[in-house]
Amino acid sequence: MAENDENENLLGNKKVTIIKKLNLEGKDIISLRNLTGATRKPALILLVLFIVISLIQVNRDLFIRENIFASSAQPLIEVTYGGVKQNLSGESLESLKQYILMNVAPEDFAGVKSNLEVTDVLREKGRDAAYFNGSVLDHACPMTIRSSTKKLVRKPPDVIGIGFAKCGTGSLDFLDCHPSITFRTSEPKFFAEKTAVQFINDALEKFDMDKESQKRGFRIEIKKYVDEYLERMPLATSDEILIEKSPQYSGGGSNEVRLERAKAMKAINPNIKLIGIACDPVKRAYSQLNMKERRTETLKESGKPCRNKGCLLGTIEEAFERFTDKQQSNFDAGLPMGFADYANQIKPFVDIVGAENFHLVDGENLVQNPNYEWGKLLDFLEVEKDHFKFYKDEEKGFPCLDKPIKHCLNTAKGTSRKTDVRKEYANFTNIWDGLYKPTVLEMINFFKICDKIDEICCEKLSDENSSFSWIHRYACTDI
């Protein structure tokens, strides 16, 4: 992320001035909120309060866009914010904290205030640009926003994001800014490791999980592997939701392999919940090609050779041609169309954890109608959603978090979807549309998007702001 983007995450100083002028401490902010509902106060006081609150609201957005390194007259303190050492004025950091505290739910205020700190950096340099400013943070949000005051412990995840690559799985980063959730950007990929999964499932066979004493034996047997897994995740409190995501869990391998992974997940946490993020396969495929192109360019610039499958051979047009030929031959051979194969790949997971413990997010709607799509996910996670809001950032061209903190994803996220791939590469995408159509249609029934494909369904999908509206093209037009 460029330094400018980072600056946008922080507040300007005017806010502090206003807060000072109003002499607002944390408690006062809460009482101000509560006062807005008061009915017995004289009308004049209410009016004054209304004006003051409106002023704060209106000015706040302006403040956020201001440069935080404001007056040189202020004393500077060194802060590592999101992996980058910065000299912030003491007031800037303070105003950032004030912004967060003003925007969390009243019931989270005290806990968040006691935990609110700049997030620790785990590694200064991540493997690629998909981290915050290239650094791996202890957990994804650049500020630690946690309401629980319980002790931090190592624990298995409560929720796992199992896919799908290139559909927006990285945007789960935002969840870490929720006071009830902890998430680290790096992917543990534990259940993609055959040996570990097999060991856990073999142990499941050995022990009778209906007996308490046997359950203990099982836990001891698999401890070595589980400890190693938990080390890959951040500490969390017992009452907050710990999430990990590794898109490799749904991709790669057969459904038998996926079934084994699902069993191992449930063995480690019997109450496990799973998230899948699906998106338009044409955009997904383009996002993948685009990433390869970007990676090839970066390696070329650094003078390093690019030998693996993650790089592009030749031009992007040649890559499109090769990709189209491969998709066509898979289709002709009756092989699964991987980029659209959501229902088939999710089935083994749902068979093990139950449909009620699985939630499918629409990755396209995360961009199109973020507050609605994120709201549904937060409902599934059973956490507060009214104080977790997004706005469309003009410069980024994608949704960024607005509340409780201003935060955009890093520069590696949100590139290919800026291009209208169906316009730019219509000669290829027209073919892809036809190849993916039958597999996309399998989703409709499996995920109960509609009862059947009929006029009612097409009417519903024609609303651009509804989840999975991108399916309209596949289900309701002649492609």
Ligand X SMILES: Nc1ncnc2c1ncn2[C@@H]1O[C@H](COP(=O)(O)OS(=O)(=O)O)[C@@H](OP(=O)(O)O)[C@H]1O
Residues of each annotated binding site for 3'-phosphoadenylyl sulfate: 287
Please tell me whether residue 352 binds ligand X under the rule CB under 6 A: no
Q: Under rule CB under 6 A, how many of the chain's residues touch ligand X? A: 20
Segment (H or E) for 434: helix 426-446
Q: 266 or 413: whose CB is closer to ligand X?
A: 413
Q: 33 or 389: whose CB is closer to ligand X?
A: 389
Please tell me whether residue 416 binds ligand X under the rule CB under 6 A: yes
Calpha distance 379→388 (Å, rounded): 12
Name which position in 68, 116, 409, 440 contacts ligand X (CB under 6 A).
409
Local structure of 267: helix, strand or coil: helix
CA proximity to 6, closest of 412, 406, 415, 397: 406
- Characterize 241-271 residue by residue with b for buried, 16 or more Cβ atoms within 10 angstroms of its Cβ, and e for exposed: bbbbbbbbbbbeeebebbbbbbbbbbbbbee
- Characterize 81-112 residue by residue with b for buried, 16 or more Cβ atoms within 10 angstroms of its Cβ, and e for exposed: bbbbebebbebbbbbbbbbbbbbbbeebbbbb
Calpha distance 29→97 (Å, rounded): 13
Q: CA dist 422 to 60, 285, 322, 324, 435, Å? A: 39, 12, 17, 14, 14
Q: 192 or 367: whose CB is closer to ligand X?
A: 367
State the DSSP string of 4-17: HHHHHTS--SHHHH
State the DSSP string of 306-363: --STTS--S-HHHHHHHHHHHHHHHHHTT---GGG-HHHHHHHHHHHH-GGGEEEEEH
Q: 398 or 425: whose CB is closer to ligand X?
A: 398
- Characterize 125-147 residue by residue with b for buried, 16 or more Cβ atoms within 10 angstroms of its Cβ, and e for exposed: ebeeebbbbbbbbbbbbbbbbbb
Please tell me whether residue 287 binds ligand X under the rule CB under 6 A: yes
**Side chain identity at residue 164, one-letter code:** F
Calpha distance 235→151 (Å, rounded): 9
Residues 6+ apart with CB under 8 A from 354: none
Please tell me whether residue 166 binds ligand X under the rule CB under 6 A: yes
Among the residue ranges 30-38, 108-116, 166-174, 345-353, the one whose residues contact ligand X (CB under 6 A):
166-174
- Least separation in angstroms between CB 363 and ligand X: 6
Please tell me whether residue 414 binds ligand X under the rule CB under 6 A: yes
Calpha distance 241→262 (Å, rounded): 19
**Which tokens is 312 given?**
């592009």
Calpha distance 49→419 (Å, rounded): 46
Q: 182 or 287: whose CB is closer to ligand X?
A: 287
Name which position in 258, 273, 403, 417 contacts ligand X (CB under 6 A).
417
Please tell me whether residue 398 binds ligand X under the rule CB under 6 A: yes
**φ, ψ of residue 233 in degrees (nearest 5):** -115, 160
- Least separation in angstroms between CB 107 and ligand X: 27
Among the residue ranges 306-314, 378-386, 411-419, 452-460, the one whose residues contact ligand X (CB under 6 A):
411-419
Name which position in 10, 24, 93, 165 contacts ligand X (CB under 6 A).
165
Name which position in 253, 321, 415, 446 contacts ligand X (CB under 6 A).
415
Please tell me whether residue 136 binds ligand X under the rule CB under 6 A: no
- Least separation in angstroms between CB 76 and ligand X: 31
**What separation, in Å, do the N-terminal and C-terminal C-alpha atoms of the chain show?**
39
Residues contributing to the annotated binding site: 287
Please tell me whether residue 171 binds ligand X under the rule CB under 6 A: yes
Please tell me whether residue 345 binds ligand X under the rule CB under 6 A: no
Q: 189 or 219: whose CB is closer to ligand X?
A: 189
Name which position in 247, 281, 338, 348 contacts ligand X (CB under 6 A).
247
- Least separation in angstroms between CB 366 and ligand X: 5
Name which position in 82, 111, 188, 399 contacts ligand X (CB under 6 A).
399
Known catalytic residue at 166: yes
Calpha distance 46→351 (Å, rounded): 56
Please tell me whether residue 168 binds ligand X under the rule CB under 6 A: yes
Q: 101 or 130: whose CB is closer to ligand X?
A: 130
- Least separation in angstroms between CB 103 and ligand X: 18
Q: Which of 166, 266, 283, 406 is catalytic?
A: 166
Calpha distance 208→214 (Å, rounded): 6
- Least separation in angstroms between CB 364 and ligand X: 8
The angle that helices 14-21 and 43-64 make with each other, rounded to 10 degrees, is 160
Q: 160 or 167: whose CB is closer to ligand X?
A: 167
Please tell me whether residue 290 binds ligand X under the rule CB under 6 A: yes
Name which position in 13, 169, 237, 345 contacts ligand X (CB under 6 A).
169
For ligand X, the nearest residue by Cβ is: 170
Among the residue ranges 84-92, 159-167, 201-209, 319-327, the one whose residues contact ligand X (CB under 6 A):
159-167
- What positions carry a catalytic annotation? 166
Contact residues for ligand X (CB under 6 A)?
165-171, 247, 287, 290, 366-367, 398-399, 409, 413-417
